[in-house]
Chains A and B, each alone.
Chain A
Amino acid sequence: MNENSKIIILYPLLLCLILFLVDKLFFLPIVVENTHSWKKIERSFYDLKEDLFEVMLENHQKNPDRKIGVILGSSRSGEFDTKGIKELLKNTDTYNFAAPFGPISFQYYWMEKIIAKELPISYFMVEIDPLLFTKSAITYSLNGSYDWRFVLNNTDYYRENSINVWENESIGFSVDESETFFLKKLFALYKYPIDPGAIKANNQELEVGFFPGISTGITGKDHKREFLEKIKVANRQLLGAMPNEIKFANADFFLEKDAENIYLTHMNPYRISITQISFFKRMLTLMKGRNIPVIFYYPVVAPALKVRMERDGILSEFQSKTMNLISETSRQDKTQFYVIDPSTSKDWTCKDFVDALHLSGACFPNLLPILFPASLRN
């Protein structure tokens, strides 16, 4: 090959390199501030769990005698009041690693990381329900919430599809999920796409809720900044929890409509994720024989949604499969698994919901004692 040909074959490589470098400009904070919509701020909960982990390690260094409780789950578990739990478990600080739609893979990720630090763990609370086991549940968490080594080491390169997903022997993420994670890690335009609507919304002043046209005086960007600060403060003062400030109950017709929307969006058809099942099994194996209490919590949902899930048999099948797996593993010595479904408890009386998935903030004092049974408190 002559010199000219050698130069020619470099053109496509040079082109790729320039495009790759240009893409990196879109990772600059000043650009992300504009492209990352304030309406998608909930994703930041995932990123800021690293900050919470640092807080946990710092606090442990300062007070090594205090025990550590860990809550894992979705936004529903993110609302548990740390101070309320402290009244039930006196010598325990509860750190809340729950994130919106936090799938089991994300829960396992933090469980493994926390276990590796050999901290004095008082308990783990794990939220499990059909929604967190859907294929779409992983979407938020693939935005860079895992360590890249974790994803690489836990990718199932030769996953076999089987009719019975609960019997599947997969070891973790599918190749497609892993690809999505790395694409978002490597390419800014994939993680923070240029969405004209988002750029406009970030630079516009927000309107006061319920009063269209009346400005709050702050832009979407400002709101985003404030919200991120709020999460950081919550990480330090409330150890990651964000108690639900909404104390009222929404009307039944609204809850029914919301339940139908959630059902149609996520469960029609119900596509269960082999990835989440595999991480759930690994979670059980990880906690087997450790003598650390693990509370498996079936979250309460509005009656309209529960009826919808029961009608199609989704809920009963899900609960029976997860119960079987938990009870099989709990036979092992020094394994303390608790399965708690507050909806079957006679003590659960406060049943007000703000939407189909979230309990009213006023009901948490009633729920907490059910989740932490007397045997655990002692």
Chain B
Amino acid sequence: MKFTSLSFLLFFLIVYILNWMIKGKARHLFLFLVSVLFYAAWSIPFAFHFLAIVVINHLANRRVQKNSKSIWFYFLLFINLTNLFLFKYFYFFWDSLLYITASPLFEPENIRHFLESQFGFDSITLPLAISFYSFQMIAYSVDVKRGDAKENPNFLKFALFIFFFPQLVAGPIVRHGEFFYQLDQWKANKHQLFEGVYLVFLGLLKKVVVADNVSQVIDPVFFNPNGYDGVSNALALFGFSARVYCDFSGYTDLARGLGKLLGIDLPENFKAPFLSKSVSETWVRWHMTLASWIRDYIYIPLGGSRVSEIRSYFNLLLTFSLAGIWHGANVTFFLWGFSQGIFLSIERKWQLYQKAKGVDLSLPLPWYRYLFGIIYAFSIFSLTTAFFNGSNVGISISMLTHTFLGNSGMRVPKLELLFYSILLTFLFNYLQLKETFPRKQWSTLKSFSFLLCFGFFTFVLLGYLAPGGTEFIYFQF
């Protein structure tokens, strides 16, 4: 069920009404059941598979809660990582073996025959949201073992923490400390509900009006970069930055808005990432819940920056390569993550050099350096999307080559749409630094009237500019 669909609108209206009618702990059960139903709308068998994984996690976590040295923690890590590996990385692993050994044993046909003869299906389907729920469950287990998670929730609360449908499919990746306390203090809050409605409208605007329209212009270039000229290739890369931001930030706005309408605050995932002055700052503001997850559960356990200089570069490269692979089982994602690690390492070296020269890095930058920083960070982000969105390394290399050296292909139509979309994307980024809505000093009537106007404006644009709809990019992860 897409968030942008009519069936979801009807589903959510019913859930919203019942959510506020049902009192006490029955609400936990209700929200859990509708969340399972939401997932089952995609696949009933995988809903049971997901449920089984949650039950195992809950039971094992209870053991670890009692004894932090319990072997159940390692069992859980094994279960969650195996589940992720089997469904997401198996084919990547198998293809790599074929590439390395060239043995006929690893031909795709063999695995297809094996699956068909043993299980009655010929391929492994990637379960929806597997990367997100696996990371959320691993983080919780680690926190339980570290003694940081003391909530000791019952099954319903834990299952709701993982299954909660607004954030289930593509995050934000929620931490236990941000969620459990809210289950016991539900109360309708005007400010929260108004913000929820506002975020839903804003998310729809970003996704349907900007991201989906940009997609129609740039997809043909990513499909066949050799058919287009250098300008088209370059603008497709910059256009993709606008698209991925509006798509994912739009999804996050929708998820947070829906959460608020049900009385649950979910964490923000973006804080004006395209107004960052460096790649490292971008990663503090882009997909914040994943970035902090990587920092807390991979980078810092590896030693972070409190190790030798060379080791710190290695940590950055390893962490970001893994972050790349998290996005998808493809060499292109690895290269994307690795390239981020390279730029972060270069920036770290530069910072160390400046510090050694006695430069005070805490001083505010003059405006021209600030502007240069934004252009630099945005350009690096955009150019590396050749790997993020390119279907294979050949396509990615072609796009980068044509961008820098030009190509004799045709000019992609509607280029002006990309310019407007990039401008709008920067406006959305700017708004994330400002106080938007609801304003504390506004009366209920004023806030309601604003929402009515904003909602109507959104409706008009959705009707006029909706190109037909594409899936959210991060749903594939």
Chain A residues in the interface with B (C-beta under 8 A): 1, 5-6, 8-9, 11-13, 15-16, 18-19, 22-23, 175-176, 179-180, 182-183, 186-187, 189-195
Q: Are B462 and A8 in contact (CB under 8 A)?
A: no
Q: Which residues of A contact B368 (CB under 8 A)?
A: none
Over the window 437-451 of chain B, the binary record of Cβ atoms lying under 8 Å from chain A Cβ atoms (1 yes, 0 no) is 000000010001001
Q: Are B193 and A12 in contact (CB under 8 A)?
A: yes
Q: How far is the CB of B131 from chain A (nearest CB, A)?
A: 21
Q: Are A187 and B193 in contact (CB under 8 A)?
A: no
Docked CA distance A22–B444 (Å): 21
Q: Which residues of B contact A175 (CB under 8 A)?
A: 5, 7
Knowing A1-B20, A19-B455, A190-B462, the reply to whether A9 touches B13 (Cβ < 8 A) is: no
Instruction: Pick the contact of A179: B6, B190, B194, B464 (CB < 8 A).
Output: B6
Q: Are A194 and B464 in contact (CB under 8 A)?
A: yes
By CB atoms of chain B within 10 A, which of A1, A8, A190, A194 has the most? A8
Q: Which residues of B contact A1 (CB under 8 A)?
A: 20, 23, 187-188
Q: How far is the CB of B125 from chain A (nearest CB, A)?
A: 10
Q: Are B466 and A15 in contact (CB under 8 A)?
A: no
Docked CA distance A8–B197 (Å): 13
Q: Which residues of B contact A195 (CB under 8 A)?
A: 464
| Known A5-B187, A15-B448, A19-B459; 13 more pairs at CB < 8 Å | A1-B23, A11-B448, A12-B16, A12-B197, A15-B452, A19-B455, A19-B456, A176-B469, A179-B6, A180-B468, A193-B463, A194-B463, A195-B464
Chain B residues in the interface with A (C-beta under 8 A): 5-7, 13, 16-17, 20, 23, 187-190, 193-194, 196-197, 261, 444, 448, 451-452, 455-456, 459-460, 462-464, 466, 468-469
Q: How far is the CB of B295 from chain A (nearest CB, A)?
A: 36
Docked CA distance A15–B190 (Å): 13
Of all chain A residues, which has the CB nearest B447? A11
Q: Are A179 and B7 in contact (CB under 8 A)?
A: yes
Docked CA distance A1–B17 (Å): 14
Q: Are B452 and A5 in contact (CB under 8 A)?
A: no
Q: Which residues of B contact A15 (CB under 8 A)?
A: 197, 448, 451-452, 455
**Inter-chain CB contacts under 8 Å: number:** 71
Chain B interface, DSSP helix/strand/loop, else mixed: helix
Could you give 11 example pairs across A and B, Cβ below 8 Å? Answer: A5-B188, A8-B189, A8-B190, A9-B20, A12-B193, A12-B261, A16-B13, A186-B6, A189-B460, A192-B463, A193-B460
Q: Which residues of B contact A189 (CB under 8 A)?
A: 459-460, 462-464
Q: How far is the CB of A39 from chain B (nearest CB, A)?
A: 15
Q: Which residues of A contact B194 (CB under 8 A)?
A: 11
Q: How far is the CB of A161 from chain B (nearest CB, A)?
A: 10
Q: Which residues of A contact B188 (CB under 8 A)?
A: 1, 5-6, 8-9
Q: Which residues of A contact B462 (CB under 8 A)?
A: 189-190
Docked CA distance A13–B197 (Å): 10
Of all chain B residues, which has the CB nearest A195? B464
Of all chain B residues, which has the CB nearest A196? B464
Of all chain A residues, which has the CB nearest B468? A180
Q: Which residues of A contact B452 (CB under 8 A)?
A: 15, 18-19
The 9 closest A-B pairs by CB, nearest first: A189-B463, A193-B463, A193-B464, A5-B188, A9-B20, A8-B188, A190-B463, A9-B188, A8-B190
Docked CA distance A22–B188 (Å): 27
Q: Which residues of A contact B193 (CB under 8 A)?
A: 8-9, 11-12
Q: Which residues of B contact A180 (CB under 8 A)?
A: 468
Docked CA distance A16–B13 (Å): 10
Q: How far is the CB of B471 from chain A (nearest CB, A)?
A: 10
Q: Are A12 and B460 in contact (CB under 8 A)?
A: no
Docked CA distance A270–B162 (Å): 41
Q: Are B20 and A12 in contact (CB under 8 A)?
A: no
Q: Which residues of B contact A22 (CB under 8 A)?
A: 456
Q: Which residues of A contact B187 (CB under 8 A)?
A: 1, 5
Docked CA distance A194–B462 (Å): 10
Docked CA distance A18–B290 (Å): 38
Q: Which residues of B contact A13 (CB under 8 A)?
A: 13, 16-17
Q: Which residues of A contact B23 (CB under 8 A)?
A: 1
Q: How far is the CB of A201 from chain B (nearest CB, A)?
A: 15
Instruction: Pick the contact of A182: B6, B17, B456, B463 (CB < 8 A).
Output: B6
Q: Which residues of A contact B17 (CB under 8 A)?
A: 13
Q: Which residues of A contact B469 (CB under 8 A)?
A: 176
Q: Which residues of A contact B464 (CB under 8 A)?
A: 189, 193-195
Q: Which residues of B contact A192 (CB under 8 A)?
A: 463
Q: How far is the CB of B456 from chain A (nearest CB, A)?
A: 6
Q: How far is the CB of A15 from chain B (nearest CB, A)?
A: 6
Q: Which residues of B contact A5 (CB under 8 A)?
A: 187-188
Q: How far is the CB of B321 from chain A (nearest CB, A)?
A: 32
Docked CA distance A39–B337 (Å): 49
Q: Are B5 and A187 in contact (CB under 8 A)?
A: no
Of all chain A residues, which has the CB nearest B1? A175
Of all chain A residues, which has the CB nearest B10? A182
Q: Which residues of B contact A187 (CB under 8 A)?
A: 459, 463
Knowing A12-B16, A15-B452, A19-B452, the reply to whether A190 touches B7 (Cβ < 8 A) is: no
Q: How far is the CB of A312 from chain B (nearest CB, A)?
A: 15
Docked CA distance A186–B9 (Å): 12
Of all chain A residues, which has the CB nearest B191? A8
Q: How far is the CB of A226 from chain B (nearest CB, A)?
A: 27
Docked CA distance A189–B461 (Å): 9
Q: Which residues of A contact B466 (CB under 8 A)?
A: 190
Q: Are A183 and B6 in contact (CB under 8 A)?
A: yes
Q: How far is the CB of A228 from chain B (nearest CB, A)?
A: 23
Q: Which residues of B contact A19 (CB under 8 A)?
A: 452, 455-456, 459
By CB atoms of chain B within 10 A, which of A9, A179, A190, A191 has the most? A9
Q: Are A179 and B5 in contact (CB under 8 A)?
A: yes
Q: Are B190 and A11 in contact (CB under 8 A)?
A: yes
Of all chain A residues, which has the CB nearest B41? A157
Q: How far is the CB of B139 from chain A (nearest CB, A)?
A: 32
Q: Which residues of B contact A186 (CB under 8 A)?
A: 6
Of all chain A residues, which has the CB nearest B7? A179
Docked CA distance A190–B4 (Å): 13
Docked CA distance A9–B197 (Å): 12
Of all chain A residues, which has the CB nearest B460? A194
Q: Which residues of A contact B444 (CB under 8 A)?
A: 11
Of all chain B residues, which has the CB nearest A192? B463
Docked CA distance A247–B284 (Å): 68
Q: How far is the CB of B64 from chain A (nearest CB, A)?
A: 37
Q: Which residues of A contact B459 (CB under 8 A)?
A: 19, 23, 187, 189
Q: How far is the CB of A307 from chain B (nearest CB, A)?
A: 21
Q: Which residues of B contact A6 (CB under 8 A)?
A: 188
Of all chain A residues, which has the CB nearest B23? A1
Q: How far is the CB of B190 from chain A (nearest CB, A)?
A: 5
Q: Which residues of A contact B456 (CB under 8 A)?
A: 19, 22
Docked CA distance A175–B11 (Å): 15
Docked CA distance A9–B196 (Å): 12
Q: Which residues of B contact A190 (CB under 8 A)?
A: 462-463, 466
Knowing A5-B187, A18-B452, A176-B469, the reply to whether A12 touches B196 (Cβ < 8 A) is: yes
Docked CA distance A13–B17 (Å): 9
